Amino acid sequence: MQIDVLSLFPNMFEPLRESMIGKALERHLLNFDVVDYRSYSHDKHHHVDDTPYGGGAGMLLKPEPLFEAMDGVNQRHPGPKRVILMDPAGKKFDQQAARELSQERHLVFICGHYEGYDERIRTLVTDEYSLGDYVLTGGELPAMVMIDAIVRLLPGVLGNDESAHTDSFENGLLEYPQYTRPPEYRGMQVPEVLQNGNHQLIARWRLKESLRRTYLRRPDLLERVELDDAAKKLLREVKTEEATKAAERRLNAFEQNKEDTD
């Protein structure tokens, strides 16, 4: 995969060359270039922004530097590419989008700054993405998040390809709890089922705890995921168990309050 980033702050992307993405670069699974589009400014002061027509607060990115930066990308790498604009008005980036984009051969990320973009810049773009309903100073941090989420899905990037498939959100659910040695630490025990070597029981426990974590923390995800009959049965067990726990907590709280008032 080829990834190009158009940014006014190219040094922000240097940490991406470490760890997992660094290994992808070493294995030639990824080519990664960052272009400072300020270098395409023809102003003697290298301005890339200007005041908006019609007045208003803030400054807008001018079209010329980004158009010429994209011309350079297209000259170096002819062929189809997805050009992604980081924008608060874009569609929300999620794991499904990461999977889709990981299938592409070439991605270009445009990172804005200032108040916004000259509208003509959007004609360069195939996709607009946002991380959520909040505003950041620039597009660099969202682009880094997206790149990390996408690159880790490329075949051969992770040491164990199964890791990507068992991550949270990969099957529409949050990931199950995980443990390593020692089996007991400060009174906290690793569940016995994980230590007995019965892979069928382990798989059942993991699915059930994945359903439990999703039910407790992100119940909205359960509305969008297709569960088979076995998973539906486990989810019913989870709901019953959690309802029992909640009733016990209410009873304990009632008894404690009663003792305090006596």
Which residues are known to be catalytic?
88, 115, 152, 167
Kindly report the number of other CB atoms within 10 A of residue 59's CB atom.
Answer: 16
**Residue 87 to residue 117: CA distance in whole angstroms:** 9
Strand partners, 84: 109, 127
Q: What share of the chain is helix, strand, coil (3-state, %, to 5)?
A: 45, 15, 35
Length in residues, the chain: 262
Phi, psi of 18 (to 5 degrees): -95, 175
DSSP 209-225: HHHHHHHHH-HHHHTTS
**Residue 160 to residue 63: CA distance in whole angstroms:** 43
Classify the phi-psi angles of 219: left when phi > 0, otherwise alpha if psi is within -120 to 50, otherwise beta: alpha
Residue 6's nearest CA partner among 108, 86, 91 is: 108
Half-sphere exposure of 79 (CA within 13 A, CB side): 8
Cβ atoms of 225 and 172 within 8 Å: the answer is yes
- Bind-site residues for S-adenosyl-L-methionine: 112, 131-136
The beta-strand segments (E) located in the chain are 2-7, 31-36, 49-50, 60-61, 82-92, 106-110, 116-117, 127-130, 184-185, 188-189
